[in-house]
Structure 1
């Protein structure tokens, strides 16, 4: 079962778990405090707005990469990582995709042997 799991795939999977836990920890705090989540992102100062735009642009570029790369490698349900980012966090779905991508690359490399 683990023959397609390379060390790099496990690193990406660990980052995905850290991204899920880290982002949801603060999401839960925001919910408990009844914060205006979107409003806080854009009105909490220039530094927060800069960071928000930085991450948003990176997430859009990463989402395009996910769709293109999933199609290239014939990975099923590549779009689900992009949709999942809206439900969970891009910090979770992007490294998760990279982990599954690495598994696919290992699988393809072994199939060529």
Structure 2
């Protein structure tokens, strides 16, 4: 039993909680769509439980990604990493997260070259 609780940090617990919220949130609407015998894929273009499921899904991904941006940005010494999170509200997380990953990769490459 000790192995199950070993190595859990506050960050890993936070990601786990976000994961569980995402699962419960999306499947609540998925089950609702099945119970209401809704055309799940047709619902995607006309709103309803499927759209709510996807909305919760994307919200949990954005929340977990935002935590990752803040923690990883601090770990790597990236200046103004919080700005990616703020910009995602003004543009889209689909834009800011890959942008952060690109800047992260640049930083990691620079570190590797400096140590070589």
TM-score, scaled to structure 2: 0.60
Per-residue CA distance 1:14-63 (angstroms, 9 max, x = gap): xxxxxxxxxxxxxxxxxxxxxxxxxxxxx920000000000000000000
Q: CA deviation at 1:76?
A: 0.3
Hey, what does 2:104 align to over in structure 1?
Answer: 101
Q: Which runs of 5+ in 2 are unaligned?
A: 1-45
After superposition, the CA RMSD in angstroms is 1.1
Is residue 86 from structure 1 mapped to residue 93 from structure 2 by the alignment?
Answer: no
Counterparts of 1:79 and 1:92 in 2: how far apart (Å)?
15
User: Which segments of structure 1 move beyond 6 Å, counting only runs of 4 or more?
Assistant: none
Q: CA deviation at 1:104?
A: 0.3
Give the aligned length: 71
TM-score, scaled to structure 1: 0.62
Q: Rg bigger for which structure? A: 2
Hey, what does 2:71 align to over in structure 1?
Answer: 68
More contact order relative to length (CA 8 Å, sep ≥ 6):
1
Q: Which runs of 5+ in 1 are unaligned?
A: 1-42
Counterparts of 1:75 and 1:111 in 2: how far apart (Å)?
16
Q: CA deviation at 1:88?
A: 0.2
Is residue 54 from structure 1 mapped to residue 57 from structure 2 by the alignment?
Answer: yes
Hey, what does 1:10 align to over in structure 2?
Answer: none
